[in-house]
Structure 1
Amino acid sequence: MGKGGMSHGGGEEEEEENKAAWLLGLKTLKIQPYNLPPIGPHDVKVRMKAVGICGSDVHHFKHMRCGNFIVKKPMVIGHECAGIIEEVGSEVKSLQAGDRVALEPGISCRQCQFCKGGRYNLCRQMKFFGSPPTNGALANLVVHPANLCFKLPDNVSLEEGAMCEPLSVGVHACHRAQVSPQTKILIMGAGPIGLVTMLAARAFGAPKIVIVDIDDQRLSFAKHVGADEVIQVSTNIQDVGEEVVKIQNAVGANVDVSFDCVGFSKTMSVALNATRAGGKVCLVGMGQSEMTLPLTPTAGREIDVIGIFRYRNTWPLCIEFLRSGKIDVKPLITHRFEFIQEQVEEAFETSARGGNAIKVMFNL
């Protein structure tokens, strides 16, 4: 549904007019009615205003799966989102109708050892927007727990609010790798996640950041948004040694922390070889489900290999980085589409093509 024709009348009328983008099959998205669950005492109803497309959404769109998450029945897609509170549950005190909020898309169980230990992103019962079998956020209205909706300051737009989700991946990676003003950084991959990891690392004080990619268009964009050095490499699997030398020359000193935001055997091998003894390599991207890596020499140089899965407790910090101007995500939003049938599949195709498309955003 476009911007016109939306009713703000009684609850029933709204339920009838709520529409969402349903993934029905390979590369098949249809805007269809979406009946919401009733609003619980601790929930809010949010009118979606900005929804971004993520790499995992594109995987679902193109392959009906992402990693071990397989789409087995029609599903509402999307999880990078922000909107305006339309209704609050009876127990909600922190938010009110009209508040602009960014939504954290995962609802954990709160009962398991991971949740109780504060690592709720590892919860096995996690219900995550647009990850099968949980319906997502590309809809006119959604119902979500109030404690996962974060109020946006006046100087942070709804689009920037939706960008808190990908930015959270970079912030969590920097937390895990303990990035500080002494940390010299290498980032493999200048796609959306490589770029938000770069912005986060800079906000954490990293003095030198080098980005590596095969695509010169992406590299010039990375330079434009703040990389100190960019290095173009080839897809040839044999030239790891050559690339490591290039990287070490560019950094001008040892690499303290490498982030692999691609996730292939080759990118990870380069990162492990380019990182100084005693440094850290954080695997962020999941390009391959299995890799073959030079782990024996890595162990001999005491390099810590760190994994990350999504994020936890990152929204307040992301919003503060945006509010204070320490991070500017606006240049990353390169394409905008309306929430109408003619544009939904086109938006996903645009995101899938990559190239000059960094972040594709729906304005609802």
Structure 2
Amino acid sequence: MRVAETVAKETLDHQERPIPVPGPGEALLRVHTVTLCGTDLHIWEDDYATPLPMVQGHEFCGVIEALPEPHTTLAVGDRVAVSPILNCGACYACSIGRTNACDRMSVYGCYDVPGALAEYVTVPVHKLFPVPDALPMELASLCEPTSIALQAVNRSRPQAGEHALVLGCGPIGLLATLYLTSLGVHVVAADTVPERVAFARRFGAADTLHVDLDREFPTAEQATLIDRNTGGFGPAIVVEATGQPSSLDNAIRLVSTAGRVVAVGISDRPVTLSMRTLPVKDIELIGSRNSQELIGEAAELLSHHPEQARALVTHRFPLTKAADAFETMRSRTELVGKVAVDLTEAAS
């Protein structure tokens, strides 16, 4: 089988390897599509905790080639999306069902386990989720990032009729917007890139805000819009999906009293908060990581919104040009959503 392995900083080695043999409880999967995220870019740039060499790829889907034994809901030939996190089952987080925050997790293509930039992988059967007929296979790898957005939104305990502010219109912010609006929540989305701001309306945002880094946010006009939408109280929910310290500061400042702020954006940069703000506003500041096996729910959401899913994937490459896929991710001259690597025979 063909494999693309990241062997050093910004260096891929294309290899031929034997098709892996499934172990007990594992299925053999022929990989169809891998989509890349910011973590993948950091690994490729050797700016992440992942030791190299590593076969990357944790957002993926494929077709079952072999099962260890007959299964009640899965069969050879089924199209499936994959939950890439392998949790330990013994730490405190696992013991309370928060497997998404396992202290000793492994992740395909990120930690310990080779990923899906290979024609075949073996996957535990319980990590496979059927792809609905209404969801095209080339979009099913989006189930993993969508599940992360679902997890973040669920952490905020949204109610129909509430108002939410989503800070950041990258893939996770857009997918969070899509999910929130599907639940009946009124969403205002904000970003520093005008093209992304406009894109958010396609995902259900009722209003959008351009964040000008040279001006105070929100501007007087933007503050009026937020007040008009929320009766002057501020949004009940703010999803911070940028990882920028200033954005988290904005989230805490703008959220309503007794509101909920979910931080799903990640960076190593420190944040300074007033010790007065959290208790006086009586708000909840909530972290969100990965998802609690929400791949199936993500597949259902995407199957009802295939147009948005298709729009999210802005670039596609065959496995032979995977290096170009990584280079495209850091482009500053064009709008880049999700970048996909196609492993089907038709790829060229």
User: TM-score higher than 0.5 here?
Assistant: yes
C-alpha contact 2:57 2:116 (8 A) present in aligned 1: yes
Alignment of 1:103-252 (within 5 A): 103-206=82-185, 208-236=186-214, 239-240=216-217, 242=219, 245=223, 248-249=226-227, 251-252=229-230
Q: Which residue of 1 aligns with 2:47?
A: 65
Determine the C-alpha separation between the residues in 2 that align with 1:289 and 1:104: 28
Aligned twin of 1:284: 264
Residue in structure 1 matched with residue 346 of structure 2 by the alignment: none
Structure 1: state its 5+ residue gaps. 1-17
Q: Does structure 2 conserve the Cα–Cα contact (< 8 Å) formed by 1:42 and 1:91?
A: no
In the aligned structure 2, how far is the partner of 1:296 from the partner of 1:263? 22
Instruction: Answer yes or no: is the 8 Å Cα contact 1:265–1:293 preserved in 2.
Output: no
Q: Distance in 2 between matches of 1:323 and 1:314?
A: 14
Aligned residues of 1:240 and 1:266 also touching (Cα < 8 A): no
Preserved contact between residue 210 and residue 251 of structure 1 (Cα < 8 Å):
no
Contact kept, 8 Å, 2:35 with 2:59, in 1: the verdict is yes
Contact 1:187–1:261 (8 Å) recurs in 2: yes
Alpha-carbon distance between aligned partners in 2 of 1:328 and 1:223, rounded to the nearest angstrom: 10
> Post-superposition shift, 1:133?
3.0
1:55 matched residue in structure 2: 38
Aligned to 1:269: 249
Paired residues for 1:306-345 under 5 Å:
306-325=286-305, 328-340=308-320, 343-345=321-323
Cα distance, 1:194–1:247 mapped onto 2, change above 3 Å: farther
Q: Post-superposition shift, 1:227?
A: 1.3
Deviates further, 310-319 or 299-308: 310-319
Per-residue Cα deviation, 1:310-358 (whole angstroms, up to 9, x for no partner): 1113122112223344984221111111111xx2111111122264110
| Inter-CA distance 225–250: structure 2 relative to 1 (3 Å threshold) | farther
Q: Distance in 1 between matches of 2:151 and 2:183?
A: 11
The aligned amino acid for 1:315 is I
How far the C-alpha of 1:294 sits from its partner, in A, is: 3.4
Unmatched tracts of structure 2, length 5 or more = 344-348
Structure 2 distance, partners of 1:211, 1:295, is 27
The residue type equivalent to 1:196 in the other structure is L
Residue 143 (structure 1) shift? 0.2
- SS at 2:63 equivalent: strand
Q: Are the counterparts in 2 of residues 268 and 293 from structure 1 also a CA contact under 8 Å?
A: no
Report the more deviating stretch, 111-120 or 252-261.
111-120
**Under a length normalisation based on structure 2, what TM-score does the superposition of the two structures give?**
0.91
Question: How many residue pairs were aligned?
Answer: 339
Which one of the candidate residues 314, 335, 339 is aligned to 1:356?
Answer: 335
Cα distance, 1:55 vs. partner? Answer: 1.1
d(CA) in 1 for partners of 2:41 and 2:225?
31
* Higher mean displacement: 79-88 or 329-338: 329-338
- Equivalent pair of 1:44/1:87 in contact (CA under 8 Å): yes
Q: Could you tell me whether the CA contact under 8 Å between 2:83 and 2:293 is conserved in 1?
A: no
Would the aligned equivalents of 1:229 and 1:250 in 2 still touch at CA under 8 Å?
Answer: no
Shift of 1:73: 2.8
Deviations 1:292-315 (A, max 9, x none): 223422321101100011111312
Q: Which amino acid aligns with 2:317?
A: F
Q: Is the 8 A contact 1:109 1:115 kept in 2?
A: yes
Given that 1:49 and 1:84 are in contact with CA atoms closer than 8 Å, whether structure 2 keeps it comes out as: yes
Aligned with 1:81 (options 42, 57, 60): 60
SS in 2 for 1:248: helix
Q: TM-score normalised to the size of structure 1?
A: 0.87
Contact between 1:20 and 1:34, CA under 8 Å: does it hold in 2? yes
Q: CA deviation at 1:123?
A: 1.4
Distance 2:85 2:71 in 1: 19
SS at match of 2:258: strand
Whether the aligned pair in 1 keeps the contact of 2:21 and 2:28 (CA below 8 Å) is no
Shift of 1:32: 1.8
**1:296 matched to 2:272:** no
Q: CA deviation at 1:249?
A: 4.0
1:255 alignment partner, SS class: coil
Q: Percent identity?
A: 28
| 1:39 lines up with 2:22 in the alignment | yes
